[in-house]
Structure 1
């Protein structure tokens, strides 16, 4: 006789399903995981997947959204620090978060590149925009549309560097930190406009 399922509050049950799905998607692509496997891994009836998420696709999006959004953690104390010091401390904080959050963050970030549909891209864009805001706040820079647009491309670089470091071992942590710090500083530094030269024959 099967043991009775533990009764959980809806939010806890939903999270239980997401956590189980994350484990499956950490080393297998979306198309290789069936709804039945997702239900078995979570220890729930298949109908509960549809009840909480509508379908398998929405569950995958929920896993993606949770996995590629940097976890809420307190930033280091930056009082009196230069922008360069703040950038290095922030990138170190992000690398530490990637380590403690586990391989799921890296794997799910990579999965975004394998499924370029609009709904997944919207989740990635949302996470990248949030990360850009976080970094601007950490650097003590204004959250302007222009600066945020300059920083958003570094999110893809950060994920790629973390994959090289955590999954492939091609970077050391220090190399990853140096590369990301230099890149962020390059992207946020404003290039002054080139002065126009006076046209010949005109008064200067």
Structure 2
């Protein structure tokens, strides 16, 4: 790639674009800052100047991925029935997973550098934000902490199911879509309220 004179912001964006593509196409361990520099057409030192180490560049890529996924969350639509809203959420998730599978699984596994605290914070913050987006799209007016916990657990199922589809090849997209839509619908309409009921029925301290 031939060198082009760009502003610092344009150069940073260019490096991030190349890094995002390479981390998406290859496992973390197979990507190097030298390869990113070569693909971008800059000296490797410039990558270190802008981003620091490969780990720090990867964290920026994951932050961008989670921010992009959050921005794609649709606004609540009063015209959609609950099953349609669930279908919309699941299809959006599957589209995002398919585009960014390698990067996301590397983030989940913290592949290449162990259980990195900053990476885990990014992933957990994304899960919390995703739960709030789900509640908004599903138009849950007064969500309980129990339902939030149920949806966080559902995110683990979604990650495992997409891994079976995109990595293990044991399920196809339609099967994963069916699994995730039916599970989410059951969790929101039946299981979540059933788990909340014992708490509502539990005697308050000092009652009686």
Alignment check: 8 A CA contact 1:68 1:108 kept: no
Give the Cα separation in 2 of the matches to 1:65 and 1:129.
Answer: 14
CA change 1:154–1:18 in 2 (3 A) is farther
* Equivalent residue, structure 1, for 2:104: 109
Which of 16, 19, 37 is 2:17 aligned to?
Answer: 19
Uncovered stretches (5+) of structure 2, i.e. residues with no partner: 203-208
Give the Cα separation in 2 of the matches to 1:137 and 1:10.
Answer: 38
From the CA coordinates, give the structure whose radius of gyration is larger.
1
CA change 1:32–1:172 in 2 (3 A) is closer
Give the Cα separation in 2 of the matches to 1:109 and 1:26.
Answer: 8
C-alpha displacement at 1:120, in angstroms?
1.2
1:129-168 deviations in Å (ceiling 9; x for gaps) = 2211111111001475713333123223223322322344
Higher relative contact order (CA 8 A, sep 6+): 2
Give the Cα separation in 2 of the matches to 1:61 and 1:6.
Answer: 26
TM-score, with normalisation over the residues of structure 1?
Answer: 0.78
1:158-182 deviations in Å (ceiling 9; x for gaps) = 2332232234432232211111112
1:58-99 deviations in Å (ceiling 9; x for gaps) = 101111222345163362773233323321222123223434
* Equivalent residue, structure 2, for 1:92: 91
Aligned length: 191
C-alpha displacement at 1:42, in angstroms?
1.9
TM-score, with normalisation over the residues of structure 2?
Answer: 0.76
Higher helix share: 2
Uncovered stretches (5+) of structure 1, i.e. residues with no partner: 197-204
Which of 51, 54, 57 is 1:53 aligned to?
Answer: 51
